[in-house]
Amino acid sequence: MTISAIDICRLLNGEIEGNPDVIISKAGKIEYAEPGDITFISNPLYEKYFITTKADAVIVSKDFKNTRNDITLIRVTDPYTAFITVLEKLEPVKEIEMFSISDKCVIGKNVEINGDVFIGDFVRIGNGAGIGTGTRIMHNCTIGNKVKIGSNCLIYSNVAIYDDCKLGNNIIIHSGTVIGSDGFGFLKQENGSFKKIPQTGIVVIEDEVEIGSNTSIDRATIGETRICRGAKLDNQVQIAHNVEIGEDTVVVAQVGIAGSTKIGKRCMIAGQAGIVGHLTICDDVIIGASVGVSKSITKPGVYVGYRAKPMREELKETALIKEISNLKDRIKELEKSKS
């Protein structure tokens, strides 16, 4: 679609500077944008591209210093949030599969399908499963026995959901993800071998959750592994048995969370962080990238470092380490003065 800069400005409740009639057809990255594009600046690191960008319009903060007279600015309080609103407006309408059930799928006995659904080619749905209205299950998915899936869910191709798992409404699961695989439970025997511990629980995924591709969420040993309402999991995340992820918590790629750990609400766990088992992470915690968490966290805040510490403490220790070489030189001078 196309839209004028002034209409975008009205959409954002912003202030326009420059040509209000310029026509925008798509969004672009500031360094690669072309005529007809709109872009944005929210991070000062990208201000250097302003003088060379070919975009016709740029969303900026209200105090941004304009150094050009050939470009239209839209000034807003929060450029990043505003740009997301524009993306939603400009996003091309995706081709939506019409509700239908492929004659190449296999549906078991006593499956309850409520209202219109889409079930693609080579999908297998087990006995006693339930599918809510408006849900789309794309090609090559496997839905186990007694799995319950709510309304308006989108399950992309090649997803496997094991027996008895329960999914709420408005859930998105991307390709290659496995829900309900066995937890990693083994008991070491006297002869050094390992005996498998039965994994008899389930996975429960509440409403409004999105899960990236190639993520694994293990079923509980007993009870539930639970992903609470509004949580967002990135690609290649490992969630072990009996873990609980709190509401509106974000887990970034390649994070591993060991068994029975409880993560609070509104937490952010950055890429490649690792959390050992049986811990409790309170609400409103940010864990930095590649951080190893070996103890429970009871106070909200930002935790960074090889072993998770409050950020201020970690920065202080890092600064002190940098002073070691200076201290060494001072010690040598003191030793010389004594001699």
CA distance 315 to 167: 42
Separation in Å, CA 179 to CA 33, 49, 160, 172, 189? 39, 43, 6, 12, 29
Name the DSSP letter for residue 35. Answer: T
- Other Cβ atoms closer than 10 A to 177: 23
User: Residues with catalytic annotation?
Assistant: 241
- Structure tokens of 163? 């027996």
- Residue 21: count of CB within 10 angstroms of its CB: 10
DSSP state, residue 157: T
Alpha-carbon span 177 to 153, nearest angstrom = 15
Q: Which residues of 277-290 are buried (b: 16+ CB within 10 A; e: fewer)?
A: eebebbeebbbbee
Distance in angstroms (rounded) separating the CA atoms of residues 209 and 127:
25
Helix then strand then coil, % of the chain, to nearest 5: 15, 30, 55
The dihedrals phi and psi of 326, each to the nearest 5 degrees, come to -65, -40
The one-letter amino acid code at 53 reads: T
